[in-house]
Structure 1
């Protein structure tokens, strides 16, 4: 109840501000029917930049203040968008634009994350393996595969504790957690829209569910194999060195693995079926909410998300969630922050739609060849560079719109461009602790288990040495 009270409070505040501004600025009927991105200056993008920088710097530089007041930070940046949008676009168009974003994009986005987080939190892997190089490599491979079906956050929460238990008698453990973040918390989520938030944003924009699977599996497989081989070699060398050292007593002796909460896999199948249903079933029925048409198939899909999550809470033993360290805190933070992110990105999308006539013309020039065709390598690295330090879902959306925003064209004639954007957003979220939400969660859990994790910049030394050369291979093999 505390989760819904806080999330609902911030959501209510957003809507109150929206409609209050409608009354205050009722004289601005002279504004255009909507936001004209061609006439908007770069100042309109400052709230979007501000909220992303707040999310990136808050947990690192002022964690105590951020932990207690992140919702207020986010609400401030949202108000900085809501007021000008209603002033510039007029009451009707401004409110319609904001409601369109919240109802058709934010609501299904956060309900899917809520369902995946709740369902995966009920899957508990009991028991312990010995942390040999072969066993560790297998655990990483399983976690990476699982990430595309329960999400990178879900897979990270399911697999990190078994991996830590398997290695709690090892002297060298840092590299194991670092590669876990690479593979399970990021790269493994590239195969379906369930895997990583940016890919589900693409699905909501009209990208077919299996497009990501058919177009991204080759680079995902190549990168995963490279990283697993590199990890195995490093782990084998360090394991051999440990054998010559004093080996600590294993605090968690080997025991058979046992899976709890298997019913959650059926609930996960229901979530996947709901997504496929919404993409294929078109009854032609819609409901108008504040002038926004919400289609029946999408309402049914979102209801199934909620029912599957509630069923997981009822059918899963409480002990399994406790063993996973399950809490509502992470999804509560994501719900509040993303509500405000989706508001703040509204003017940015309008500016991107203006193309070369808008304030983002220099960015468009950077990702285009001299003949005007897309520079896919540039899309990959620019999307990845921003995803490394800012949240990868809104970064994906920015470059999706920059590439034209037409899902049919991006899935066909511009498929290499959409692949470059998708790979950059998903893969390069692994470059820093703040590139993807599970990264910092895994970092905190590992530190709590006694692993001496590298600092922010120490982690970047690992990612620069291992990931960046691997991404160069991706550029050469798949994006030229």
Structure 2
């Protein structure tokens, strides 16, 4: 009798089991914890010194993969946790365990968990869709793939579109000696700009949706800015790719993946992607009227059901997708595991910054509040666009969007109404300028890791920034002149 080896539990499934165990423990201890975890930290009393752990974490993310790649690759989770503890321990000592625990639970349940659950669901389901075969990476084909990915990004998310299309794009161009620019423009368009039209598209817009922004608001209010960028970047890529093709050696590099007929496997995952869309729409359109008070954080029934459905859809994808299909797709848990660990620390260390911003003119961020406001007190849309965008490129665009959303008042109805141009500036800055660095948006990291693993000579962190500012910088100046007033 042959004993088949037991299939190892996927790392994130193990993490979900741990979360469930912690949840049950919290539920059992809730009567006692309710007497301990209460109150809030007053942002008016906070100094900017409390943002230093966030700065240290972001510098670690930017510098350590270059300065100490071996240490970072093996210990990034510990490093991120270290920065989170560097904030939370003294923060609790100064302002009390109860108020700090209350703020941490709010960040975890209200922002981090919905964010990472959506990414996990899209990453897992899209990883079960395999585009088989190979085509020759001509400038026309590459441009067409970028256009398709840009359209898909707002439907299945920048994460989903990136994971589905990056490997076929790499296979199509693996016979070329110069192909890094193909991945760079892929990050620009598919991993960032294409996700600007729905909350499914990009994590910052999903956080906005959680704050009360209508599902289709960005579809109608950021479409023109997106169209201008796409109309510039796709033709620019085509011309640049033609130039690179003309500089290829006369004797071509052997093609490791010869051209073959294109096909798609894993189509059973498409209904699951539709289920993700339905779950998101359900949570935004249905008001159950039921809320759960979790140590001061209000969790609605529809939000809880949405996240449970998303996790269930991801686990269903794992169950119905053959393992060899995922292996052929090069599916690996490491990209999403890295995002989950690093973003847990980012959301934790971001707590003081959000509290300071919520304090407005009475807090330590009063100069920043003044900077984004005109003399008459109205918001400067162009300033919001550039500050949100530049900080998105180094802080990651999801938490940065949340910072400026709160700085603009934090009232979704007001921001969708009289301040619609300001919300469009914040949304555009967060989504578009997330493409300026590798750490600006979660899929950027994933695409970089896959491309390097496939042997693409990707530029360094600062080399990529030379590309992004050189190509995107003038485009953003044009957007400012066309759409955003100072």
Asked if these proteins are the same fold (TM beyond 0.5), I'd say yes
Residue 95 in structure 1 maps to residue 104 in structure 2: no
CA deviations 1:181-211 (Å, max 9, x no partner) are 1111211111111122111111111111111
Which residue of 1 is the match for residue 466 of structure 2? Answer: 461
CA contact (8 A) 2:39 2:102 kept: no
The answer to whether structure 1 residue 338 and structure 2 residue 347 are counterparts is no
1:213 is paired with a residue whose SS is helix
Q: Distance in 2 between matches of 1:254 and 1:149?
A: 29
Quick check: 1:170 aligned with 2:176?
yes
1:226 aligns to 2:232 (yes or no): yes
Change (3 A) 1:400 1:8: farther
Q: What number of residue pairs does the alignment pair up?
A: 472
Question: Structure 2 vs 1, CA of residues 48 and 248 (structure 1 numbering), >3 Å: closer, same or farther?
Answer: closer
The answer as to whether partners of 1:10 and 1:75 remain within 8 angstroms in 2 is no
CA distance in 1, matches of 2:24, 2:47: 26
CA distance 1:240–1:344, shift in 2 (3 Å): closer
Task: Compare 366-375 and 135-144 and name the one that shifted more.
Answer: 366-375
Structure 2 residue aligned with 1:212: 218
1:10–1:336 Cα contact (<8 Å) kept = no
The more displaced of 92-101 and 347-356 is 92-101
Q: Secondary structure at the match of 1:113?
A: helix
Q: Is the 8 A contact 1:14 1:75 kept in 2?
A: no
Confirm or deny that 1:272 pairs with 2:281. Answer: no
Q: Distance in 2 between matches of 1:410 and 1:141?
A: 31
Residue 3 (structure 1) aligned with residue 8 (structure 2): no
Per-residue CA deviation, residues 417-471 of structure 1 (Å, 9 max, x unaligned), is 1111111111112112222232233233323333322233322222222111111
Give the superposition deviation at 1:81.
3.4
Moved more, 281-290 or 227-236: 281-290
Q: 1:38 aligns with which of 36, 40, 44?
A: 44
For 1:13-412, what aligned pairs fall within 5 Å after superposition? 33-242=39-248, 245-412=250-417
More deviation, 283-292/307-316: 283-292
Distance 1:83 1:440 in 2: 29
Please give the alpha-carbon distance, in whole angstroms, between the structure 2 residues aligned to 1:12 and 1:68: 26
Judged with a 3 Å threshold, the aligned counterparts in structure 2 of structure 1 residues 451 and 229 are, in CA distance, closer, same or farther, namely same
Structure 2 residues not aligned, in runs of 5+: 1-8
Corresponding residue for 2:6? Answer: none
Distance 2:22 2:348 in 1: 13
In 1, Cα distance between equivalents of 2:100 and 2:122 = 32
How many angstroms apart in 1 are the aligned matches of 2:99 and 2:184? 47
Aligned residues of 2:133 and 2:263 also touching (Cα < 8 A): yes
Structure 2 CA distance for aligned equivalents of residues 14 and 48 of structure 1: 27
Equivalence for 2:456: 451
| Further displaced range: 140-149 or 352-361 | 140-149
SS in 1 for 2:222: helix
Structure 1 position 395, deviation (Å): 1.3
Q: Give the TM-score normalised by structure 2.
A: 0.90
Distance 1:165 1:13, change over 3 A: same
The 1:313/1:362 distance shift into structure 2, 3 A limit, reads same
- The unaligned stretches of length 5 or more in structure 1 are none
* Distance change in 2, residues 1:434/1:336 (3 Å): closer
Change (3 A) 1:451 1:327: closer
- SS at 2:191's partner residue? coil
Measure the CA separation in 1 of the matches of 2:24 and 2:81.
11
Report the secondary structure of 1:245's partner residue. Answer: coil
Question: Structure 1: how far apart are the matches of 2:24 and 2:410?
Answer: 27
| Inter-CA distance 10–344: structure 2 relative to 1 (3 Å threshold) | farther
Contact 1:168 1:250 in 2 (8 A): yes
What do residues 60-85 of structure 1 show as CA deviations (whole Å, max 9, x unaligned)?
A: 32222222222222222323333344
Q: Specify the alignment match of 2:5 in structure 1.
A: none
**CA distance in structure 2 between the partners assigned to 1:120 and 1:435 by the alignment:** 21
Q: Deviations over 1:86-144 (max 9, x none)?
A: 44554544433322222222222211111111111111111111211111110111111
Give the 3 Å change call, closer, same or farther, for CA 82–134 of structure 1 in structure 2: same
Deviations 1:228-270 (A, max 9, x none): 000111122333444x822334332222211111122211111
- Do 1:35 and 1:85's aligned partners in 2 also have CA atoms closer than 8 Å? no
Contact 1:387-1:435 at 8 Å conserved across structures: yes
2:439 aligned to 411, 434, 452, which one? 434
Q: Within 2, Cα distance between the matches of 1:289 and 1:192? A: 29
Q: CA deviation at 1:8?
A: 6.9
Q: Give distance in 2, aligned partners of 1:95 and 1:432.
A: 32
Q: State the distance in 2 between where 1:355 and 1:439 align.
A: 32
In the TM superposition, what is the alpha-carbon distance from 1:359 to its structure 2 partner? Answer: 0.4
Return the alpha-carbon distance in structure 2 between the equivalents of residues 409 and 365 of structure 1. Answer: 20
Taking the aligned partners of 2:45 and 2:294, their CA distance within structure 1 comes to 29
Q: In terms of mean alpha carbon deviation, does 432-441 or 395-404 score higher?
A: 432-441
Secondary structure of the residue that 2:151 maps to in structure 1? helix
Other-structure match for 2:4: none
